[in-house]
Amino acid sequence: MDHLLSLLIFLPLLVAAIILAVPSRFIKAIKLLTLGAAAAVLVLSLMTWFSFNPSQPAYQFVEKADWFGLQLSSFGYFQVQYFLGVDGLSIAMVLLTGIVGVIGVLSSWNLQTKNPKGYFALYLLLLASVMGCFLALDMFLFYLFFEFMLLPMYFLIGIWGGPRREYAAIKFFLYTLVGSLFILIVMIGLYTSVIDPIATAARAGLSANQNATQFLLQTGKLASENLVHTFSIPAMTEAANYIPGSMLHLLSDREIFGYPARLLAFLVLFAGFAIKIPVVPVHTWLPDAHVEAPTPISVMLAAVLLKVGAYGLFRIAFPVFPEAAVYFSSFIAGLGVLSILYGAFCALAMSDLKKLIAYSSVSHMGFVLLGLASFTTEGVSGAIYQLFSHGLISAMLFLVVGVLYDRYHNRQISGFRGLASALPAFTFFVVVAFFASLGLPGLSGFIAELLVLLGAFTSASANGLLSRWFAVLAAFGILLGAAYYLWALQRMFFGKFWIKPELQTGTTPQDLTAREYFMLVPLAILILAFGIFPHLLLDKVSPAAAGFVNTMLSEGKTNLPEMLNLLP
């Protein structure tokens, strides 16, 4: 399989195209096609997962081809590549997308859709573009997929959503569009500053190797029309590939508003991804989008789409600007802790169960930021673990809310009491999901949060970046997490069975159906498995995390003084 990664992206796209050709009265066929595509993606992602070799630090399954290029006279050569690859950071995300993709289709099965054809085609488009984001190693390609995610999401919320769907869809769209804009600005800046050394050497007719070309570049011996500008992310992470005197060169003394250009560029890029994660205070699109989105789309949104923002930090913002990331580590960790506590307090105040869970997502994604900013192997591994684990857990959480909503068309906490007596099997999965989310040992969330907090705590002695107070404050997040979940549990599920009179359907409520079991049981098993056997994931992920930490710290700490020296 030479084109495993391409298949992961194009298979769902192809099926989406086929679905458009199927007459819309064959609903069953459309559903089966979608399910088949999602299942095939899962199989492919599993194949990638199992053949991935964690001990090899380089990108694997690389596919690289010139896509298009332009000679822009003296400015140089404009190069865009079709460049895919996975490493320890992305492999976990690929697997997660594969798993959640199938769950999402299953949960769409009985959705009362106005236009199933459009819905499932858009769903597959969404799946493909998310996958593309995780696989792209060319920033242009990444940006393309990143923008492409918006389109199906906008329509999926705006057409198939709840009562306030237009508002939520527009809010989501505008928020993320602003984020994309930030990313675009920095992308252009990077593009003007970075060259591809090998392509440049070929173009200039030099027989020099990569290092020699980089040397020639840094000493100004390359003619500017021969420079091949690139969007390649690996090229952007090497300081030697930056054109001397360009905007984002390490030793460029350009300042914007009195800030070194690189620091500012990092902040802008960070802001772009932070909106997607989302980080407090740019998170308010999330609760609205979740509340209005249909269940499967909420699942996709929480489990996979939010991860793209954090993944962008891992893949692009941090490695491209290591010194800025180190410089701002306390700021980022502070935002992480703020998100953890702010999200948790908001969740405590919510009266809508789905909104409560949406805010808990904000809180849990704060752990990712904190772990990332700790620059320790524990913290970064924990952050990736949290991405994966939160993907599974939040999928389950939104599914159980969906189960309730399907029965009563209501999600108000005050509308129900004592559901445990009426729906025991359902309650079992609610308890599993809630306790997984609040970090009970033996379930995957515990390992993630433990490692993040451990990393944040040891950062003070390991690399001196973060104060211990960040970990201390964040640890109270796990107390608050227990508070809002158990309180909701007590109010909705315990006590004598009672439902608000206007919600009563007259029939005895049905406990879980076979299809619902089919979605919830695998998730519960996965959550348990990754809670008891963390090495399943960590063996693949943590070498990359350690490598990430090492390069970030060594480059960040050497680059930062050099850059700051230039300032007056």
Partner 1 sequence: MGLLLVPFVSFLILFFFGRKLPSQGDWLATLTGGISFILSFVIFTQIWTGTPQHFRWTWFSLGETTKTLDFSAGILLDNLAAVMLVLVTFISLLIQVFSIAYMHGDKHYSRYFAYLGLFTAAMISIILADNLLLLFMGWELVGFASYLLIGFWFEKKAAAKASLKAFLINRLGDVGLLLGLFGLYALFQTFDLTELNNSFSAQNPTISTYLTLIGLGLFCGCIGKSAQFPLQVWLPDAMQGPTPVSALIHAATMVAAGVYLLARCYAFFTPDALLIIAIIGTLTALSGGLAALFQHDIKRILAYSTISQLGFMVMGMGTGNPEASLFHLITHAFFKAALFLIAGIVIHAMHQGLNALPYHEEVDRQDIRNMGGLRRILPITFIAYLLAFGGIVGLPFFSGFLSKDAILSGAWAWAESKNNRLYFLIPDIGFISVLLTAFYMTRQLLFVFFGKFRLNLDPKTLRHSIRNEASVLMLIPVVLLALLSLASFFAVNPFNAASGWLYGGNQLMPQLPNMLLRAIAENHEIHVYTAFLSTTLALAGIAFAWFKYRNLELKIGRVASAYSAEPLNPIARFTFRQFYLNELYRFAFIKPALKLGKTVAFFDKKVIDGLLHFFGMIAVVGAKIIGWFDRIFIDGFVNLLAWFSGSLGKMGRNLQGGELQSYYLYALLGLMLVVLSILVL
Amino acid at 256: I
With left for phi above 0 and alpha for psi between -120 and 50, is residue 376 left, alpha or beta? beta
What is the C-alpha to C-alpha distance for residues 297 and 305, in angstroms, rounded to an integer? 10
User: Nearest approach, Cβ of 15 to partner 1 (angstroms)?
Assistant: 37
User: Nearest approach, Cβ of 281 to partner 1 (angstroms)?
Assistant: 6
For the window 99-128, what string marks contact with partner 1 as x by the rule CB under 8 A? ------------------------------
Alpha-carbon distances, residue 4 vs 8, 57, 84, 89, 399 (angstroms): 6, 19, 10, 17, 30
Q: Determine, following the binding rule CB under 8 A, whether residue 494 of this chain makes contact with partner 1.
A: yes
Q: Determine, following the binding rule CB under 8 A, whether residue 46 of this chain makes contact with partner 1.
A: no
For the window 6-45, what string marks contact with partner 1 as x by the rule CB under 8 A? ----------------------------------------
Among 40, 236, 347, 422, binds partner 1 (CB under 8 A): 347
Which residue lies nearer to partner 1 by CB, 43 or 479? 479
Contacts of 507 (CB under 8 A, 6+ apart): none
| 190-198, 263-271, 532-540, 559-567 -> range binding partner 1 (CB under 8 A) | 532-540
Contacts of 32 (CB under 8 A, 6+ apart): none
Element at 509 (helix H, strand E): none
Q: Determine, following the binding rule CB under 8 A, whether residue 492 of this chain makes contact with partner 1.
A: no
Q: Determine, following the binding rule CB under 8 A, whether residue 464 of this chain makes contact with partner 1.
A: no
Length of the chain: 568
User: Nearest approach, Cβ of 224 to partner 1 (angstroms)?
Assistant: 40
For the window 365-404, what string marks contact with partner 1 as x by the rule CB under 8 A? ------------xx--x-----------------------
3-state SS record for 339-357: HHHHHHHHHHHCCEHHHHH
Q: Determine, following the binding rule CB under 8 A, whether residue 553 of this chain makes contact with partner 1.
A: no
Q: Determine, following the binding rule CB under 8 A, whether residue 442 of this chain makes contact with partner 1.
A: yes
3-state SS record for 2-44: CCHHHHHHHHHHHHHHHHHHCCCCCHHHHHHHHHHHHHHHHHH
Largest CA distance in the chain: 82
Q: Determine, following the binding rule CB under 8 A, whether residue 244 of this chain makes contact with partner 1.
A: no
Q: Determine, following the binding rule CB under 8 A, whether residue 525 of this chain makes contact with partner 1.
A: no
What is the C-alpha to C-alpha distance for residues 132 and 324, in angstroms, rounded to an integer? 27
Among 40, 291, 324, 453, binds partner 1 (CB under 8 A): 453
Among 284, 414, 504, 513, binds partner 1 (CB under 8 A): 284
What is the C-alpha to C-alpha distance for residues 378 and 84, in angstroms, rounded to an integer? 28
Q: How many residues bind partner 1 (CB under 8 A)?
A: 60
Q: What is the CA radius of gyration of the chain?
A: 24
Structure tokens at 186: 């920095």
The DSSP code for 243 is: P
Contact between 129 and 41 under an 8 Å Cβ cutoff? The reply is no
Give contact residues for partner 1 (rule: CB under 8 A): 55, 171, 174, 281, 284, 342, 345-350, 377-378, 381, 418, 420-421, 435, 440-442, 446, 450-451, 453-454, 457-458, 460-462, 471-472, 475-476, 478-480, 482-483, 486-487, 489-490, 493-497, 533-535, 538-539, 542-543, 545-547
